[in-house]
Amino acid sequence: MKYITEPKKKLPVYGNFDVVVCGGGPAGSASAISAARNGAKVLLIEQTGCLGGMSTAGLGPTMAPFTNDREPFIRGIALEVLNRLKEIGGTGDTPKSSTMWPVIDSEKIKLLYDTLMEEAGVKVLFFTGVFNVQKIKNKIIAVIIENKNGRQAVTGKTFIDATGDADLSAMAGVPFEKGDNKGKMQPVTLCFTAAGIDTEKFKTLRNVTFKGLNAKMTEATINPYLGKSLPDMKHGEYRYIVNKNLGNGVWGFNFGHVYNIDGTDADSLSFGMAYGRKLIDNFIKHARKHVPGFENAQLLQTGQLMGVRETRRIKGIYKYTIGDYTSLKTFDDTIAVYDYPVDVHAPTKSKKLYKKHEKQFTADYVLPAGKYYSIPFRILVPVKIENLLVPGRSLSADRLTQGAFRVIPLCLAFGEAAGLAAAMAAKKGNAMKDTDFALLRKKLKAQGAKVG
Ligand SMILES: Cc1cc2nc3c(=O)[nH]c(=O)nc-3n(C[C@H](O)[C@H](O)[C@H](O)COP(=O)(O)OP(=O)(O)OC[C@H]3O[C@@H](n4cnc5c(N)ncnc54)[C@H](O)[C@@H]3O)c2cc1C
């Protein structure tokens, strides 16, 4: 690779904050709300033009269940987001009392996040990427941002890396793992919405072929119709995963896989986006001819963000393992409890591997109703940097448990805990590892979260 040397330059300081949150997905949004509600001056930096990450710019059409029992395990800000989304009609045909796979109307949830930030007094900066950090010893003192105004610095007391890919942590020198032991990662999915679907016809088809609520891989729905006439895609496949009714003939789709994409590499992502769009175009053309209810289907939109399931997992002061999960280990720093099973998609097209992963999700790691595993705060605390927290899908867990922890309700819960801890640390000046766990849990409980 060739290099050029950048001239040294003084950077303007955009502002100084108690808590600087980088990335406005579920984890970052909940972090910002929680920190601001606890008295911190908060900046939330997001590279796209909306909050919600994979659930908005990525068009993910649903949230994972909040429980496998009757009472939701995930509560606090996450449940508040769901309930307020229902109030503004943003959950499609989800029954009012249900917390099971609620539908997400991406436009409604964007609006909701804007409102929540305004209410909490969070300063939001859209169309801004975080591209570097400045450290003094083991503390971050500033992040370097870039946007239409050029390059600037943002100083702060505590920082939250909610980029999903642990961008900030990697820049700050936090060690990480990526993918399986050969570095192979789960396939990515470009989600989309389509209009003009005959909902009654399509629903009948779903009801006939649907395997049951616990079989998340609901691809049975229309897979029988994904016949031979679909062009073979070497780097992808048309497996049908989740479809959600947004109303008025509009459905959201989490559909297909593109393999061997690295969500932290711009070239790889660029290839994946174009490939994903081709896959979807092939599917829509095919479905109009062959799938009942799709005769007049029209592609509305494909995601602006690629659906990336995994990239970096940081090295934290504690690493959660599948042994902790299966033994239902409890912790004195538990910040959330949950029961969502291990949901790791096979990294190749292999049918054998697919079956293995499906079994993990539908049998091997399914907890009995009412049972839950506990998740400690320390998996959000990276080694090496003392004023940084990493909620969301890049936290410190082994690959299997990351596959359970990466879903939206839990990312919201992680964000709530991270925002609160960051606000506490900004006030007290402590390192994140020295957080008063008992106080954190007490405050989380008071905020409505379930911590054991
Ligand atoms: C295809 C697919 C389907 C899924 N389906 C479901 C589902 O049905 N139910 C469910 O609960 N979960 C689902 N998930 C999981 C879930 O959506 C994500 O894991 C979750 O959104 C992760 O939250 P996050 O906040 O950690 O990251 P993200 O949602 O990825 O948000 C990260 C945010 O940070 C921003 N960002 C990234 N880098 C930078 C940077 N350098 N500077 C500034 N901003 C940056 C991004 O633009 C984004 O807004 C799905 C995931 C995928 C990929």
Atom 48 (ligand 1) nearest CA: 53
Ligand 1 centroid, distance to 54 Cα (angstroms)? 4
Tokens matching residue 197: 């679907």
Residues 207 and 340 in one domain: no
Residue 433: how many CB atoms within 10 A of its CB?
14
Ligand 1 centroid, distance to 7 Cα (angstroms)? 35
Q: Is residue 348 part of a domain?
A: yes
What residues contact 370, with CB distance under 8 A and at least 6 apart? Answer: 68, 69
Distance CA 90, CA 94 (A): 9
Q: Is residue 185 part of a domain?
A: no
Atom 21 (ligand 1) nearest CA: 54
Q: Is residue 429 part of a domain?
A: yes
Nearest 10 degrees: Cα torsion 293, 54, 24, 9: -120
Ligand 1 centroid, distance to 164 Cα (angstroms)? 6
Task: Please answer whether residues 90 and 109 qualify as being in contact, where contact means their C-beta atoms are separated by less than 8 angstroms.
Answer: yes
Distance CA 444, CA 337 (A): 12
Q: How many domains does the chain have?
A: 2
Last residue of a domain, one of 254, 272, 302: 302
Q: Is residue 181 part of a domain?
A: no
Q: Which residues lie with the beta carbon below 6 Å from any ligand 1 atom?
A: 22-28, 45-48, 53-55, 57, 60, 62-64, 129-130, 162-165, 167, 189, 191, 242, 254, 305, 307-309, 392-393, 406-409, 411
Quote the pLDDT of residue 220. Answer: 41
Substitution candidate for ligand 1 out of 100, 103, 143, 163 with most atoms within 8 A of CB = 163
Q: Which amino acid is at 381?
A: V
Task: Please answer whether residues 340 and 407 qualify as being in contact, where contact means their C-beta atoms are separated by less than 8 angstroms.
Answer: yes
Q: What is the β-pairing status of strands 388-389 and 236-247?
A: unpaired
Task: Please answer whether residues 22 and 28 qualify as being in contact, where contact means their C-beta atoms are separated by less than 8 angstroms.
Answer: yes
State which ligand 1 atom lies nearest to the alpha carbon of 308: 53
State which ligand 1 atom lies nearest to the alpha carbon of 48: 47
Q: Is residue 115 part of a domain?
A: yes
Quote the pLDDT of residue 217. Answer: 37
Ligand 1 centroid, distance to 410 Cα (angstroms)? 12
Residues 296 and 360 in one domain: no
Taking CA atoms, 41 is separated from 32, 115, 158, 311, in Å, by 9, 17, 11, 30
Distance CA 204, CA 291 (A): 12
Atom 37 (ligand 1) nearest CA: 163
Residues 331 and 256 in one domain: no
Quote the pLDDT of residue 227. Answer: 58
Residues of the chain with confidence (pLDDT) below 50: 209-221
Substitution candidate for ligand 1 out of 312, 408, 410, 414 with most atoms within 8 A of CB = 408
User: Mean pLDDT across the chain, nearest whole number?
Assistant: 93
Atom 13 (ligand 1) nearest CA: 407
State which ligand 1 atom lies nearest to the alpha carbon of 50: 49
State which ligand 1 atom lies nearest to the alpha carbon of 190: 1
Quote the pLDDT of residue 219. Answer: 43
Quote the pLDDT of residue 233. Answer: 85
Atom 45 (ligand 1) nearest CA: 23
Residues 170 and 39 in one domain: yes
Give me the domain span that covers residue 61. 13-175+315-446
Quote the pLDDT of residue 225. Answer: 60
Residues 250 and 371 in one domain: no
Distance CA 381, CA 396 (A): 8
Distance CA 413, CA 404 (A): 13
What CATH number should be reported for the domain holding residue 346?
Answer: 3.50.50.60
Distance CA 139, CA 157 (A): 9
State which ligand 1 atom lies nearest to the alpha carbon of 305: 47
Atom 39 (ligand 1) nearest CA: 163
Quote the pLDDT of residue 388. Answer: 98
Q: Give the angle 237-239-241 at the CA atoms, nearest 5°.
A: 140
Residues 341 and 220 in one domain: no
Q: Is residue 116 part of a domain?
A: yes
Residues 150 and 20 in one domain: yes
Residues 279 and 322 in one domain: no
Quote the pLDDT of residue 222. Answer: 52
Quote the pLDDT of residue 420. Answer: 98
pLDDT by residue (tens digit) across 159-176?
Answer: 999 999 999 999 999 999
Atom 42 (ligand 1) nearest CA: 129
Task: Please answer whether residues 169 and 256 qualify as being in contact, where contact means their C-beta atoms are separated by less than 8 angstroms.
Answer: no
Residues 330 and 390 in one domain: yes
